[in-house]
Structure 1
């Protein structure tokens, strides 16, 4: 049995190969067992704290993969086994890939959990921060994996400086091909930094209105009043004329009242005071002015302006309805009538009109009559 184990295979005894295989299996089994124990204990500790850093750490450790640890375990085997140069290079490369990929996964899971938890908290109190965190998540992952890839390539013996120079030249061609996508990406960053609107704001864009639901890297989704989802390109949003109602503290209301021309002048003089008293009686309204503005085609027009002390549209409609009903009751009591489009045609004759019957030239039957 001992002599059989001493049989040499590819420059190493069979015993050495068996020990190497046992080492790989034990490394992966110990990884699974240790991860389960460590994650369980750390999660119990994290639930008793108010900070989210320990929760992010637990989430990162839970992303430990036995296969990647097994790949990393190949590195000590390279030192202890007599491998051909090409085989040693391949084993070392696999070990390096496993190491850097696992480190990248730990860091990525840590960042993702921390940014997601921060974004969820910000959505309740600070939508502006939530918008910035959404873009920061993508940039953080992009920078992380770019750094991991460069370190891995450098460790594998590639000339990173030459590679970066080549990527710079190729990046120009890629940028030209993807200019629309890159334009939306930079527009997204512009929205995040300039903050013309944030998640939860009510906006109106080119006749479309709704609440901002999500600001992505390429598109922004808006939930319309009728319930459907509107999707806008970020580039289009940065070019559009956008109205944001989130920061509107008061709402200015202007409307017109038309009364008939047969209304007496003293009645017309009382109308602004009546309108003012009705508006002042509304709790959320502030009266500004009411004037006989002009003489319309079929009505005498009063222009009324007041302010709503709240930006809530439902409150505005309730107040306007109360004002309209109050005006109808007050005008009815005064005997003042609301005007509607009418047209009066008057025909007045002082005498008979001469009528000439025209015919062909020289026709003796042509005559003039009255």
Structure 2
């Protein structure tokens, strides 16, 4: 391949009688034109066939990847034409090694550009899919993730380029290691919070909008940042807590609660007749079954209290929403009171009998 330019130049000099400079320029133009034609054909194949095939798939991920790598691949074809056209010019033979090095570096830069574009596409596609699935995504976390992946690609590209220039990479690696340790020690807390944020993002113990309980605090998650998470507490104030602290504590997430178990006690007066006591489980069962959002567990006369007869009630609410649960419990309480009034069943008051001997 390297001798094509020389062969064309020699043929032009031998059969047409052109000078060396003119023949080499014409040979370079021919090779460069061929490279442009091949690159254009490859670009057309991408556009007409591969991109058209990608549009028939269910996802647009492949469409975006092909659309973004099409131009860099065309640029690679042009670079091939420039390189193989220049290496055959006699006046540039002394710089052949430099041309080879420059061409290799250019290839690495174009490949790095393609990889970083693909990373951007993958992260953006993930964000869009999360929105479609109604999963809230932190733009800050995605931004950091994108930058970290791009940084890794740039570091590898830099190390490869330094290796091409015969730079001793052992000292570079040692320097990067020492510098990394120094930076890690100086930014220990910040990096810990940042990695904890990534843990929260990928593990998803909670998301924005979830109602959680952390220690003695309970509230709704409003924002998940790089260093901290903000929670709107029930009292109204905003709690700012570090991500590192969140990942080391037990978290109760009520947003993931699909079914809530409720246990409460109904007390009636000790003066209630036995026949009415027998009706109470039926009354409470009927009240709970009236609501479509509830499922009865158990209703039993379980205890003789100090001043009351106690019935233990267990039922389930088919929602994790706390406000809806309170509305349902309120309706059940009112309906029990209504039914007790009809049956003339009285609620007890704390009483104490005192006997005095005269």
Gaps in structure 2 of 5+ consecutive residues: 1-19
Cα distance in structure 2, aligned partners of 1:227 and 1:149: 51
Tell me by how many angstroms 1:343 deviates: 9.8
Cα distance in structure 2, aligned partners of 1:227 and 1:95: 62
Distance 1:119 1:230, change over 3 A: farther
The aligned length equals: 322
**Which has the greater radius of gyration?**
1
Corresponding residue for 1:150?
159
Corresponding residue for 1:209?
219
Corresponding residue for 2:178?
169
Cα distance in structure 1, aligned partners of 2:120 and 2:273: 73
Cα distance in structure 2, aligned partners of 1:232 and 1:26: 62
Q: What TM-score do you get using the length of structure 1 for normalisation? A: 0.62
Greater percentage in helix: 2
Distance 1:146 1:319, change over 3 A: same
Corresponding residue for 2:14?
none
Tell me by how many angstroms 1:167 deviates: 1.2
Query: Would the aligned equivalents of 2:264 and 2:314 in 1 still touch at CA under 8 Å?
Result: no
Where does 1:1-370 land on structure 2 (aligned, <5 Å)?
A: 40-41=47-48, 42-50=50-58, 52=60, 54-62=62-70, 64=72, 77=86, 80=89, 82=91, 95-118=103-126, 120-121=128-129, 124=132, 140-191=149-200, 195=203, 197=205, 199=207, 202-206=210-214, 207-210=217-220, 218-219=227-228, 233-257=242-266, 264-266=271-273, 269-270=277-278, 272-273=280-281, 274-283=283-292, 284-290=294-300, 291-292=302-303, 294-295=305-306, 300=308, 302=310, 304-308=312-316, 310-313=318-321, 316-338=325-347
Write the deviation string for residues 37-70 of structure 1: whole angstroms up to 9, x where unpaired: 5664343332123355632432332563999998
Q: Secondary structure at the match of 1:312?
A: coil
Write the deviation string for residues 170-227 of structure 1: whole angstroms up to 9, x where unpaired: 211111012123212432454466x3625478340333433687x6665557799999
Write the deviation string for residues 260-308 of structure 1: whole angstroms up to 9, x where unpaired: x6x623278357423344224444221324545744xxx7484643231
Gaps in structure 1 of 5+ consecutive residues: 1-12, 351-370
Tell me by how many angstroms 1:242 deviates: 0.9
Cα distance in structure 1, aligned partners of 2:165 and 2:327: 72
Q: How much is the aligned-residue C-alpha RMSD, in angstroms?
A: 5.4
Higher RCO, 1 vs 2 (CA within 8 Å, ≥6 residues apart): 2
Distance 1:303 1:103, change over 3 A: farther
Distance 1:210 1:128, change over 3 A: closer
Distance 1:32 1:79, change over 3 A: closer
Query: Would the aligned equivalents of 1:122 and 1:129 in 2 still touch at CA under 8 Å?
Result: yes
Q: What TM-score do you get using the length of structure 2 for normalisation? A: 0.64
Corresponding residue for 1:354?
none
Q: Secondary structure at the match of 1:278?
A: helix
Distance 1:315 1:234, change over 3 A: same
Tell me by how many angstroms 1:164 deviates: 0.8
Cα distance in structure 1, aligned partners of 2:98 and 2:338: 93
Q: Secondary structure at the match of 1:265?
A: coil
